[in-house]
Amino acid sequence: MEVTKLVLSHCDHFQFPSQKAGYTYDIRVYVPEGEVPTGGYPVFYVLDGSSYFQIARDVVHLQSRNAPKTHIDKAIVIGIGHQESDTTKRRFYDFTAPADEYIYPPRLQDSDLGPHGGAVDFLAFIEEELMPYVQQHYSIHGSKQSLYGHSLGGYFTLWVKFTRPDLFQTFLATSPSVWWNNHELLNYAEQFAVDMTPSEHNNIMITVGEEEGFMVEDADKLRELLQKYHLSVGVYIALEENHASVVPTTMSRMFRFGSTYVGSIHE
């Protein structure tokens, strides 16, 4: 019996050296088959791409076949991943905002997490290097772009929303680490909300597993804070799911929100 390695169809895979971040990222790209829609494809940028690209790709590939029922359109999926040798520490660097000091919860005080605060450089890589490359090499719709992240990636996704709200059209955060650095994300959220026009920024979707305890409470705190300023935030609690299982359980819901939102603003 001859065994061959399975290669995902219509996918590109390459290493992207970033001058902005001083790091080489693992990039995976899925491009749908068929005729390119008017204006180009919507795009989902997926953080932790080495882990979640294939799930995201399959959601779009399978469900876009029946978009009238699934409400998920054909789209390009971009997975942004780290090198296997340093994924954990690099995530804590790339996905966290700079701060004068970092306060750790008791469960992490004895952990070696490496340096933090690289979110500005990581965002510069996405905005100034990766997005122009994608624009140049793929047929995309520049005003139909979504950012997806899980856990610390969810924190980064929301941090981008609160600091650069016009860079993406939807912000999809699964189990976001609102707890990071003594809940500093709530401060970013309130600073953002004070100055924003509500009707222009109801484009956040948060999902969290029912079994994630304090992360459910944190998602509710964030929703309540933004609602105080009349900003609508979609929060879905996935029954009987935990921090790992919530990703495949809710990915379709997240991408459906992204597809529906970017479609509605261009009708």
As annotated, the active-site residues are: 151, 211, 243
String of DSSP letters for 107-152: GGTT--------HHHHHHHIIIIIHHHHHHHS-EEEEEEEEEEETH
Cα–Cα separations (whole angstroms), residue 208 to 18, 61, 162, 176, 216: 32, 24, 20, 8, 6
